[in-house]
Structure 1
Amino acid sequence: MHRLTRGQVLLTQGEPTPALFGLAGGEMEIRFLTVDGEVSVIERVPPGRLFGLSSFASGQPSTFEVLAAKGSRVVAFGPAAYEFLMDQVPGFARSLMREYARRYHGTLRMLEASRHRSADERLRLALEQLARTERAGPPDAQGWRHIRTTQAELAALASLSRQTVNELVQQLAAQKRLRVVYGGLWVPAG
């Protein structure tokens, strides 16, 4: 079990991945770093999810960086534990494959969005991703859900500028398709 403070790096892009990781609490940010220092957020990992499988299982260097988006608890499954889980725990391999396929599908959607979707579609996909994390509260009586986020976080997740996100959020608010509140947004559930 590793305890990480906000901003602490767990995996460094280009370095070996020593284990398969599971998030016990908090939130992790998976992101690409470009040569010129730009950051592209791939995903915000909520508790209960695994990450680091592709580089750990393949033995290849990590293609992304992982850092704690807030204080987090991470469980590391090293080679011996991974082998035991894969060989001795019925259903673990199928469950892991399902998780990997879900994440792969989500990553492909974000890649498609960054190259082939409009800015408003990319913002919608980023909001959908955040709605699946612990940052989203349960729907209220009117069917709206509060998402704790900032426009800077949305911009990074959607690969948009903060100015573009601000303009889109204001448009959606004027159309009554979301509500802006301090510390987040209210969006229709589902």
Structure 2
Amino acid sequence: MRSYTDEGIVIKRHNFGEADKIITLYTKSLGKITLMARGVRKLISKRAGSLDLFNQIKFHAVSGRGEMDTLTEVCLLTNYSAWKKHLGRVNIAYQLCELVDKLTADRQSHPEIYSILSLFLSQISSLGADWELKIENCKLKILTELGYWHEDKKHMGNLDDLIESLSERPLHAHKILIRLR
């Protein structure tokens, strides 16, 4: 059995069975990975709080016989509790995590994407009136790093439409923010 340790940001999660969750992380060295977190939905689970969306964690995982690796240890690095109480700021974070999830392939390492995502999540609490411009710039940085955009090219039109056409799947987070206004 192969095991590994890395840092990652929780970009997606959903329930599986009665006590488990499937967690999608964007990691520093492996890129996007999906792990089975066994028993984290139980009331006595010590790992459950560390696996909230947008948390930055250090983790240990084991490769199993199945398709999905199993999460064995979790250490919370940052939980961004300062802005998680504000629905608008949570939606901003969700937009970026959704973008990273839809446009990156599993186990394709892009350390710069991890750095961009980590830096932006740490700056969400200090976003001012120009927050929409900062989100667009962050999305363009991610698209540029993934090779979908050239940094010298000017952006015209709706960036979310471009992202939807690239991923061939609809985005949901930006629509929620529009309803909140």
Q: Which TM-score applies when normalising by structure 1? A: 0.31
Tell me which structure has the larger Cα radius of gyration.
Answer: 1
- Give TM-score, length-normalised by structure 2: 0.32
